[in-house]
Amino acid sequence: MPISHDDPGHTSGIALKRLPLRKAAVLFIVVVCLSLCGLLYLQLEQSRRHDLAVAEVASSNLTRAMAQQAEDTFMKADLVLTSLADWIQVDGFAHVQIPRLQKTFARRVQALSQLHGIFLFDQKGQWVVTSFEDLPRGPGVADRDYFLFHQQNVSSLAHIGPAVRSRVNGEWIIPVSKRVNDKDGHFQGVLLAGIKMSYFDQFFKSFSIDDDGSMFLALTDGTLLARRPFVESQIGQSLAKGAIFSKYLTGAMSGNAMIGSVLDGTVRLHGYRQLDAYPVVVSAASSRDSILKGWYDTALKSSVIVALVVLGVGLFGWVFVRQVRLGERVEKDLRKAKEALKLIATHDSLTGLANRRLFEQALAIEFGRGARQSSSLSLIMLDIDYFKRYNDAYGHVAGDHCLAEVARAVKSCCHRTADLAVRYGGEEFAVLLPDTDVHGALVIAEQIRRSVMAKNISHSGAPSGFVTVSLGCYAFVPTRLDSTEVFIGRADAALYQAKHSGRNRSAVLSMDGGVGELMRSDR
């Protein structure tokens, strides 16, 4: 800056000559600085818009390729299921048909690399035939979302459900299923094709995106099916609150948007597209920092050059660095918050009983103890009779109250500290009884059944007019070769027999697999 001289030794004429020169110098410096800053701004802004425009085109092309591949994948599975469903509807799936169906399923899976397997379940969710040689054991799939969907909907269209772990080998799959009807159009079961999660993972890896970029496949309700980078805990999470689902998809089935991720907070340029034939959304995204990385380099170099002429550009650099540091601090806080999440609780919030997680832990411990001490271990499986009718008649609030009352009845019959009452799922409960033989389990089961009846909970949809339960009992001395799944399955088989025989009764599964039952009519 020019320095003012108040020197009385100078004449007024000299002062008048120097004053305009100083002002001209200041004006020149200001004009030069403003011009350089203006030119720098125009050049950088134009470059930034160009980089973003190129990135939007690339993102749109990538999303279009993803959508085409995803639609082809689901369509191939859909076509396979359609042909098999038509065949099964005509010929049925009687026992004589099963070998032929198994071979056909296996050939179709071999022909399509994306398929994990093809499965057929009957109207009760039990395994009928699969593309695997050995038929899986277990309680079936009556609790799966896709089975419940087809059981309750007459649509013959393919249904794509949330990703699940296969009960055959634990692999993550995306279920594509179709309803199977008999010749009269009545529900006979579900045909399922499981698409490997790893197939989409490999497909995503075939595209080149930056380290902070992402790609995902989700249902139109926001349920995440597959994502790159793959984080197992994120599968099944809802993206419905994200801007893509809550804002952009409502206006257009495809497009681009610069938004922050609801999963990790990173700001990315998302290209998104909803499939034409299926309720699925695909998205490919590059991080904003990666898109503008080259632009950042140019801006820095240009700023350094301009900084040689005007020190004011240093302020811009300082603000920029300060903003970056602020962003890093926010990201660090988000990581800490994520690491601070706690494990899920071990008890059901509605009934106060133990949940499945605690049940599985206790069952493993009691299996080991029973094997060491050669002591009998019993399991009672029970559920509320006609509970769906109860919900339909009285509403879900009353249904929750009913569950809580039944839970109290169950818990009141567990007198020992080691006895464990569990809400197994929905309206189904379980009671684990260490050091108890089958006769003792049957006594406890009858106590529970009578305790529930004693509550006199009105149920207009039940033949008795009030809420009752059906119970299945199984007991044995575990060894190290026994399976907890088989143990649960046998108790569940006894429960099924109790319900099949008329409900409101207790049934026992003997060691040889036969079922004995006690009929009860004290209503």
Q: pLDDT tens digits for 284-315?
A: 888 888 878 888 888 887 777 777 767 654 45
DSSP-assigned letters across all residues of 184-229: TS-EEEEEEEEEEHHHHHHHHHTS---TT-EEEEEETTSBEEEEES
Ordered alpha helix ranges (H), 347-386: 356-373
Helix (H, G, I), strand (E, B) or coil at 182: coil
Residue-level pLDDT at 317: 43
Q: pLDDT tens for residues 381-422?
A: 999 999 999 999 999 999 999 999 999 999 999 989 999 999
For residue range 319-339, list pLDDT tens digits in order: 444 554 565 566 677 777 665
- Concatenate the DSSP letters of all residues of 248-275 into one string: ITTT-SEEEEEEE-TTT--EEEEEEEE-
CA distances to 282, 382, 400, 438, 492 from 430, in Å: 41, 6, 17, 15, 10
| Catalytic residue ranges | 427
What band does 500 get if pLDDT is binned at 50, 70 and 90? very high
The contacts of residue 235 (CB under 8 Å, 6+ apart) are: 163, 172, 197, 224, 225, 226, 227
**For 144-199, what is each residue's pLDDT tens digit?**
888 999 889 988 899 998 988 888 788 898 999 999 988 888 888 999 998 988 88
Evaluate whether 311 touches 272 at the Cβ level (below 8 Å).
no
* The pLDDT of residue 380: 96
Determine the Cα–Cα distance for residues 14 and 20; give it in Å rounded to an integer.
11
Q: Which is more confident, 312 or 93?
A: 93
Q: What is the pLDDT of residue 470?
A: 95
- Sequence-distant (≥ 6) Cβ neighbours of residue 433 within 8 angstroms: 377, 378, 379, 380, 419, 440, 441, 444, 475
Is 486 a residue whose pLDDT tops 50?
yes
**Residue environment code for 225-261, b if the CB has 16+ CB neighbours within 10 A, otherwise e:** bbbbeeeeeebeeebeebbbbeebbeeeebbbbebeb
- Residue with the bigger pLDDT between 348 and 494: it is 494
Three-class DSSP category at 358:
helix
Rounded to the nearest 10 degrees, how much is the dihedral formed by the CA atoms of 216, 222, 223, 226?
A: 0
- Per-range mean pLDDT, top range of 52-61, 147-156, 205-214, 326-335: 147-156
Share of the chain above pLDDT 90, in %: 30
Closest C-alpha to 149, from 219, 98, 88, 218 = 219
Phi and psi at 5, nearest 5°, equal -115, 115
Instruction: Answer yes or no: pTM beyond 0.85.
Output: no
Burial class of residue 212 (count of CB atoms within 10 Å of its CB; 0-12, 13-18, 19+): middle
